[in-house]
Every structure is written in structure tokens, then in C-alpha cells.
Amino acid sequence: MSVIRRARPTDAAAMGRVYVESWRSTYPGLIPDHYLVGLSEEALTARWRGQLAWGRDGDGVFVAVERPHGVVGFVTCGVQRGQLAGYGGEVYTLYLLDQAQGHGLGRRLMAAAATELLARGYPSGLVWVLRDNPARWFYERLGGRRLGEQTICLARELLPEVAYGWGDLSELARLPVNPPLE
Ligand SMILES: CC(C)(COP(=O)(O)OP(=O)(O)OC[C@H]1O[C@@H](n2cnc3c(N)ncnc32)[C@H](O)[C@@H]1OP(=O)(O)O)[C@@H](O)C(=O)NCCC(=O)NCCS
């Protein structure tokens, strides 16, 4: 049984763990090893704790909680940080532990983010994904339209990213976030 809910400051440590584990299992070969080795759960926990405590304006953060494991994934979203015309909202991060993948939680987290973006007045949105990350097929499966590419610099490497967009987030938001209560 799993539930998607808004994140609380007490979720920060679990989010730090999910982030580091997910990066280390997703990005070997895509992002330099030394960068992945250097990721710090403590630093990320502090970052999430600060963000959640201050309730930073514009950010929506949702966690996937699975009994008995606790937080197994999360999504964050808000105003688009770039300048791609016609897409007001953005999904910034979406990460699940390995064992939590492939059971529909990613889709439900995306539905929560889409619902949040709509509520904040963004009818459309996008996500950036590393071009060589197989997760891009997930965004295609959810109806994302390939919008374009950019190159980012991470750990002194140039990495190609692809943007996927939803002109109408209401389709994503229609997906069930949580199973109906019995
Ligand atoms: C990408 C991710 C969030 C997807 O979440 P998930 O819970 O595994 O995906 P779901 O079970 O909700 O899948 C929804 C649909 O997408 C498809 N899908 C998911 N990942 C896929 C992949 N890598 N390739 C092709 N299809 C994929 C599923 O088969 C499913 O299709 P269906 O409707 O035909 O059953 C998750 O796998 C993850 O955390 N990956 C590692 C971190 C990452 O890369 N995050 C994205 C950073 S931009």
C-alpha cells in the first residue's frame, strides 16, 4: 500500500537518501563517478529540510510513502526555470528507489505535480531529462512531447538534456494520485 502526499520537513532525511541512492543507480556512465561518489546525504538532507521548513515560494514537493519502508520517492515542481515559451510550469526532480520503480508510483507522482502546477496557475509544463537516461521513455509514455535539447555542465562534463512538455497538464492531472479510500 503506497500513498502520495505533500512533503513535510521530517521527510528531509529520507529524501536525501532517496536522491543519493537513485542518482548512484541511475547515472553511472552518464555522470562522472567522482561526482556520484561525492554526493552527500547530509548536505542534501539539510537542503530539503531548509526548503521544506521555509516552504519556499512556488515549490511543490510530494513524497511517495510505502509501508513499511517509508519514503521511497519524491517529485518537486514549480515555475519553469528556463525560457522555453509556452510552458509555465516545470517538474524539477523525480526520483524513486530502485525497488519502488515499475509499480506506477512515477506516474502518480507526475499526476500530483501536474495537479499542483494547475492549482498554481500553470496550465502547461515541462521536464528536462538527460538525453541518455532511459527515463525519457517514461515521459514519452506519459504523453510528453519532445520540445528541444540543451547542454548542461556538470562535474566539468558537458551533458545533453532533452525537454519533454505537456501543453495541457490536465490530462496528466486526471491520472489517479492515490487509490480510492476503501
Ligand atoms: C523514471 C521513473 C520516475 C519512472 O517511475 P516508475 O514508477 O518506474 O514508472 P511507472 O511504473 O509509473 O511507469 C509508467 C509507464 O511508463 C513506462 N516506463 C517507465 N519507465 C520506463 C522506461 N525506463 N522505459 C520505458 N518505459 C518506461 C512504464 O512501463 C509504464 O507504462 P505502461 O503504462 O505501459 O504500464 C523511475 O523509474 C525512476 O525514479 N528512475 C530513476 C530516476 C530517474 O531517472 N528520474 C528521472 C530524472 S529526470
Domains of the chain by range and CATH?
2-173 (3.40.630.30)
* Sequential DSSP letters for 6-44: E--GGGHHHHHHHHHHHHHHH-BTTB-HHHHHH--HHHH
Q: Is the CB of 76 under 6 A from ligand 1?
A: no
Model pTM greater than 0.75? yes
Q: Is the CB of 36 under 6 A from ligand 1?
A: no
Measured distance CA(119)–CA(111) in Å, rounded: 12
Ligand 1 centroid to Cα of residue 169, in Å, is 18
Ligand 1 centroid to Cα of residue 118, in Å, is 22
Q: Is the pLDDT of residue 1 over 80?
A: yes
Q: Is the CB of 105 under 6 A from ligand 1?
A: yes
Q: Which pLDDT tens digit goes with each residue over 38-92? A: 999 999 999 999 989 876 654 799 999 999 999 999 999 999 999 999 999 999 9
Cβ atoms 37, 29 nearer than 8 A: no
